Structure 1
Amino acid sequence: MTEKLEVDQRVRLNRDRVLRAAVSLADDIGIDWLSMRRLAQELRVVPMALYKHVSNKEELLDGMVEAVVAEIDPPAAGVDWKSAVRLRVLSARHSLQRHPWARRVLESRTTKTPAVLAYMDSFIGIFLAGGFSADLAHHVMHALGGRMWGFTQELFEDPAAPVGQAAMPPAIQDVTLQQMAQLYPNIAVIAASSAHDNASVVGQGCDDQFEFEFALDLLLDGFERLHRQGWSSRPRDARQRADG
């Protein structure tokens, strides 16, 4: 009976089921304890059965990130851009709070998967649909940083390329950009609008110092506005009781 159950489960195994099981297991035991062997035990299959669906642990982690991103609500319809952005960010935050390990895994990814790129593309689309210029949308995305995922981390921060790594030939770059434009048109729009600074740590083709100062000035302007308004984090009734 046990052998039949294991055979039946192997027959029904697919990539989606593997990823969902991995997410659930990481929720239960923590990402540090997740392994291909432990996941195979959870699914009651031999470890080799997993490699038909994910080639290694890194691909498994990429897929788990995609599964978490899929839980984030799509852009809200019929609301202004500000409300749409706020709702999307809070939905992302709730998703990551359901999976405490997800932030660390998301930060560790060295490449952006199609689901992650699609999320970024749709996020940019909210600003463009709200009437933002491509130039402003580009810098706003930098200023948001990891907040678009529901936490504070630089959005475009990627590990430096290995020393001595050859640059991509221009012809291949052109083909890659054309493919990106077809799949992620909003990303392509703001990428085309950006100034170039190859030494940037914020993102290839972006002016690191400019983006830093842009976000800093936004924060300072916001602080100044709240100060003028006499803003307080305490509810109004609590402030009145304290003042009285």
Structure 2
Amino acid sequence: MSTRRVVEEAIRLADHEGVDGLSMRRLAAVLGAGAMSLYRYVASKEHLLDAMVDVVFEEIDLPPEDADWRTAMRQRSASAREVFARHPWAIGVVESRTSPGPAHLRHREAVTACLRRAGFSVVTATHAHWLLDAYVYGSALQEATLPFDTRADFADVTEEVLLPRLAPEEFPYLHESAAELVATGYDPAEEFLFGLDLVLGALEPLRGRTSA
């Protein structure tokens, strides 16, 4: 038994059952240990959550230093979206932490450094960081609840469920959109990068300004 093993098992449990059902007693049962014995590795559930979030941040790629800021933040944001898709419970926990761990802090430092070196002021870099995180978190949450993941899934759901309910005379624009998206092979997986590029493009003019 080690602290790392306790934390990784807690993450696996949260991934499958959600963080609300996570308790020291439940975790101890999964590990085959006594609940009180876990306190030798983590002082409390709050400390456990801090450690879990830190491990999640270890999985997110840092913005590469040898790329321009938009490329760097695009790669970082795409990586974050993939990580939070694997650990959807973390989205609601990350921003509530008041004792961020070393991986969490390294990540925040790297993102801030990328934006500051690109010419964003402290204030505009903060705006940019918040906006990008809001987009990443929101996209991950939205995607977790969608009834489709792929182009084929979207086509099946649209043709079998949506189109039969969209009478052309009552919902002409929705019917037109659904039919055309299926016909043209629309892929919902492209939505994240489409929106991300719009966000990054909107941030570009703010470089060099003292405020937004």
Give the TM-score, by structure 1 length: 0.52
Q: Which has the larger radius of gyration?
A: 1
Structure 1 residues 133 and 31, CA gap change in structure 2 (3 angstroms): closer
Q: Is 1:151 aligned to residue 137 of structure 2?
A: yes
Q: Which residue of 2 aligns with 1:63?
A: 51
Using the alignment, how far apart are the partners of 1:107 and 1:132 within structure 2? 23
Q: What are the residue-to-residue correspondences of 1:136-175 with 2, within 5 Å? A: 136-147=124-135, 150-152=136-138
Residues 48-90 of structure 1: CA deviation (Å, up to 9, x unaligned):
2210111111111111111111110122253211010011011
Give the TM-score, by structure 2 length: 0.59
Indicate if the aligned counterparts of 2:54 and 2:100 stay in contact, CA closer than 8 A: no
Using the alignment, how far apart are the partners of 2:3 and 2:133 within structure 1? 30
**Residue of structure 1 aligned with 2:95, choices 107, 113, 118:** 107
Percent identity between the two aligned chains: 42
Indicate if the aligned counterparts of 2:62 and 2:111 stay in contact, CA closer than 8 A: no
Structure 1: which amino acid aligns with 2:137?
Answer: F
Larger RCO (alpha carbons 8 Å, 6+ apart): 2
Structure 1 residues 131 and 108, CA gap change in structure 2 (3 angstroms): closer
> Partner of 2:92: helix, strand, or coil?
helix
**Residue of structure 2 aligned with 1:118, choices 78, 82, 106:** 106
Unaligned runs of 5+ residues in structure 2 are 140-197, 203-212
Q: Which residue of 2 aligns with 1:18?
A: 6
Q: Which residue of 2 aligns with 1:192?
A: none
Q: Which residue of 2 aligns with 1:128?
A: 116
Specify which structure has the higher proportion of helix: 2
**Residue of structure 1 aligned with 2:15, choices 15, 23, 27:** 27
> Partner of 1:75: helix, strand, or coil?
coil
TM-superposed CA distance for 1:38, in Å, is: 1.0
CA RMSD of aligned residues (A): 2.5
Q: Which residue of 1 aligns with 2:74?
A: 86
Using the alignment, how far apart are the partners of 1:105 and 1:141 within structure 2? 18
Q: Which residue of 2 aligns with 1:75?
A: 63
Residues 188-215 of structure 1: CA deviation (Å, up to 9, x unaligned):
xxxxxxxxxxxxxxxxxxxxxxxxxxxx
Unaligned runs of 5+ residues in structure 1 are 1-12, 154-217, 223-244
Residues 104-155 of structure 1: CA deviation (Å, up to 9, x unaligned):
12233244333322211110111233344445424433443534xx2149xx
The runs of at least 4 consecutive aligned structure 1 residues that moved more than 6 Å come to none
The count of corresponding residues between Structure 1 and Structure 2 is: 143
Q: Which residue of 1 aligns with 2:33?
A: 45
Structure 1 residues 28 and 135, CA gap change in structure 2 (3 angstroms): closer
